[in-house]
Copies of this chain bind each other. A is one copy, B any other.
Amino acid sequence: MDGKIGLEEHFGVADFLHDSEGVVPADRWPELKSRILDIHDRRLRLMDAFGMEMMILSLTSPGIQEIPDAPTAIETARRLNDYLAEEIAKRPDRFQGFAALPMQDPDAACLELERCIGTLGFRGALVNGFTELGENREALYYDLPRYRPFWALMERLGVPFYLHPRNPSPRNAGVYEGQEWLMGPTWAFGSETATHALRLMGSGLFDEHPNLAILMGHLGEGLPYSIWRVDNHNAWAKAPPKHKAKRGLRDYFQENFYLTTSGNFHTPSLMCAMAELGSDHILFSTDWPFENIDQAALWFDSVDMSEADRRKIGRTNAQKLFKLGGDAR
C-alpha cells in the first residue's frame, strides 16, 4: 500500500555511533554505518520505492540512555534533538521526530521533552529502555517514583512514548554468560523490554495517568502471547496481585499500549497481536536501518488481512495517534 508511516526508524550522527557497533559483523559495519547516517538520500529512495510516505525518526539505541553522566546526557540529547529538527525541516512532509531524553535527570528530561514538543515540533519521545546513572551504572526503570512528574507531563502534552529495547544490564544477564549470541535483537532485547513494560503496568502508573500511550516495537516484545497468564496464573487462589495496579495488567496493555511491526515480520505473531489488542493498536514500522524497508513493506503489503485493517495499521492509526493530519489514502 502507499502512504505507509513508520515509527521505529532510526538515525545516528557520526560522533555518537560507537554504540551500534557489534550489532553486525565487522565487515557489515560500513554498510550499517552509511545507512544510519543517511536521511535524505538512500532512505528516501527506499521509502519512495516501497510506499512509505513518512518516518518518525528516532536516535539509534542505546543512545542517551547509556550515558552515565547526567550533564553529558542532557547536553547530548539537546544537541541531537536540534540536529534532528534541522533534518526534519528539510522535508517535514516525509520526516517527523521523536525526542531523545536525558532520563538520568527527570527534571531535565521534562524540560527537554517540553522543548522538543513545544519548540521543535516533535511528535513524541522514544527512550531506549532503562537509563544508566553514575559510576555504578545504576539501572533506572521508569516505574520509579522519581519519574511520575515526567509521566504527568507526557500525559498533559498528549504525545506517545516509545519504549525501545536495549540490552539488559550485566546485573541481569547471568543467564547469557557464554551465550552472547542471545543478546540484542536475537532475544535479550525483547525479554528486557517486556519486563520493563510490565514494571510500568504493575506500578499503578496507568491508574494515575490513564491517558498515556506507550508504543512498543517488535509486535510487543512477546507480551501479547503471555500477558493473559500474567493476570490469570493460580486463579483458584484468588489472591490479590502483589503489584500496585488497580486492574489486571492486560487491561492496561490493551488500552494504553500500541505495538509496531518493527523487525517482527511474522504473520502468526501479527495475528496473535491483533487478536489480543485489536487492529487499532497495531502500527507499521520497519526498524530501519537494522531491518530492511523492502522486507518490512513487501511482507506487510502482502499479509492476508482486510484492506481496512491494512490501512489502519499502515497509516491511519499513526495519523490519529500522532495527530499527523492527512487523508486515509
Contacts and interface: CB of A to CB of B under 8 A. Distances in A.
Interface in A180-239: 180-182, 184-187, 190-192, 194-196, 198-199, 202, 218-219, 222, 224-226, 228-230, 232-237, 239
Contacts of A280: 308
A220 to B, nearest CB: 9
Given A172-B173, A306-B278, A266 B228 contact: yes
Most chain B CB within 10 A, of A174, A235, A236, is at A236
A186 B233 contact: yes
B185 A191 contact: no
A48 interface: no
A198 B202 contact: no
Contacts of A174: 139, 168-169, 171-172
Interface string A296-310: 000000001111110
B28 A237 contact: yes
Interface string A116-155: 0000000000000000000000010100000000000000
Contacts of A295: 235-236
Contacts of A267: 267, 304
A292 interface: yes
Contacts of A292: 235-236
A28 B242 contact: no
Number of copies: 4
Contact of A232 (B175, B202, B229, B265): B265
Given A225-B224, A278-B306, A278-B309, A272 B268 contact: yes
Given A174-B172, A198-B187, A235-B291, A228 B269 contact: yes
Contacts of A17: none
A279 interface: yes
Main secondary structure of the interface of A (DSSP, over half): helix
A325 interface: no
A186 to B, nearest CB: 6
Contact of A234 (B202, B224, B269, B290): B290
Contacts of A234: 23-24, 185, 290-291
Nearest to A267: B304
Given A172-B173, A254-B306, A187 B180 contact: no
Contacts of A171: 174
A302 B267 CA distance: 11
Interface of A: 23-25, 28, 31-32, 139, 141, 168-169, 171-176, 179-182, 184-187, 190-192, 194-196, 198-199, 202, 218-219, 222, 224-226, 228-230, 232-237, 239, 241-243, 251, 254-255, 263-269, 271-272, 274-281, 290-292, 295, 304-309, 312
16 contacts: A24-B237, A32-B237, A141-B175, A168-B174, A171-B174, A176-B195, A182-B195, A187-B198, A190-B226, A222-B222, A225-B226, A235-B292, A236-B292, A266-B304, A278-B306, A278-B309
